[in-house]
Chain A
């Protein structure tokens, strides 16, 4: 059992990484980015392409891909999300949904339906492990992912609380109109936040490719895991994202012990339980959510 718990906690690091950007974009820009998973897969493909064609290690490839992802985030915010946000809360969601379809099909068109992996380009790291007392095997890559998640979340926390730009991003997320009145350029703050979110997506994509296989349509399940981890941990809370990732991964790992299909079912079950508890605490019962809206008297 202790082995499953340790594996679950380490897997939680990966989920925290992929949920971090989703949660960050939601907390700052109030945008649920449905292209989140597809963008992670795009980053994985970029690293795979660099490794295949130019023989660049995926770790070195990150030096190219992460700035590229930051630029994509900046451009997405400036030219797509900012404009669609003017049309109400629903339009950015539909826009990112459309963007996900475009990315998925573009990758399919370009690279075909074959599954790919970055594992062959990182030596034995994807399967190397340390043996701990009690016959517990801890994957080196899993430990690296977990450590990366902790450093990334800690770094983001420091950035947001200790730097002027971080404070500007927090102010914009709290009240964009007033932030302008104190000298904060809300458009710039949002664009920087989107760039940061995409860097975390790039990292998540890299680890996705290193620990598993991916194909052009692998984004949807990654989005689902990210969404579940973010909701469990409390969207907008950085350390909550890590806790959410760990809880999700533990539920999946322990669920897999009960039944072969319990991996996914365990995660979804915990997500739904947390969701309903949160809704209940917010005063929203299942009955009130399912009730059709009442018609107002003419």
Chain B
């Protein structure tokens, strides 16, 4: 049984079925990349794992625990942290206050404000600045740091490179490489296919709420993923 398992998950936004019976699993320490066109259901899936969306059907399991009906704040305490799309920082609060909020769930672990600032040195001089006044890269670093402060077992990253300059994206991914190397389980939503394939162990390509392709990142060809991305190649969803 996988460390994090998603079984037949269905998530609706009103009448729209955004995720349609998705099943996959992630082992401890693995990095899974979720790719797909806009509206494919990647963000909804990630948010459903984090507890921000209540599924209409299916289950989310972490180890032996069924998280399906567990509210989002309790999932943080159980080891799941989300870096949401658009960062969603508390803009009236400082960098330090945002980071400290990540510790609310009280999970034991090594992450501290100083360790996050060591990981993202560009935040050091901005420690007491309101996050609404930060650059996009600094905001993204704060959002990742805030999630790390909860000492997660599973880190969910939603489009961390969105809206950032290539140099800043490079810096963010350098930091993520450290996390991947440390054995943190990561599910990553990424639009940049090459980058997604290079950092992940497994890749899932979503199309219209379903899994169009689930494969090993190292063995799958970029062409196959591109075909799945545009719906030119469909593969029956299998537990990854």
Contact = CB atoms under 8 A, between A and B. Distances in A.
A98 B25 CA distance: 52
B150 A174 contact: no
Contact of B146 (A164, A170, A177, A182): A182
Interface string A176-218: 0111111111100000000000000000000000000000000
Given A180-B51, A182-B76, A174 B93 contact: yes
B76 A183 contact: yes
A184 B77 CA distance: 10
Nearest to A178: B88
B137 interface: no
Contacts of A171: 90, 93, 101
Contacts of B73: 179-181, 183-186
B171 to A, nearest CB: 23
Contacts of B106: 183
A167 B93 contact: yes
B105 A183 contact: yes
Contact of A183 (B52, B88, B102): B102
B176 interface: no
Nearest to A177: B52
Interface residues of A, number: 17
Contact of B90 (A174, A180, A186): A174
Contact of B76 (A170, A175, A177, A181): A181
B95 interface: no
Contacts of B102: 182-183
Interface string B145-179: 01100100000000000000000000000000000
A182 B102 CA distance: 5
Interface of A: 164, 167-168, 170-171, 174-175, 177-186
Interface of B: 50-52, 71-73, 76-77, 81-82, 84, 88, 90-93, 97, 100-106, 146-147, 150
29 contacts: A164-B100, A167-B93, A167-B101, A168-B101, A170-B93, A170-B97, A174-B92, A177-B52, A179-B73, A179-B90, A180-B52, A180-B71, A180-B72, A181-B50, A181-B72, A181-B81, A181-B84, A181-B88, A182-B102, A182-B146, A182-B150, A183-B73, A183-B76, A183-B77, A183-B105, A183-B150, A184-B73, A184-B101, A186-B73
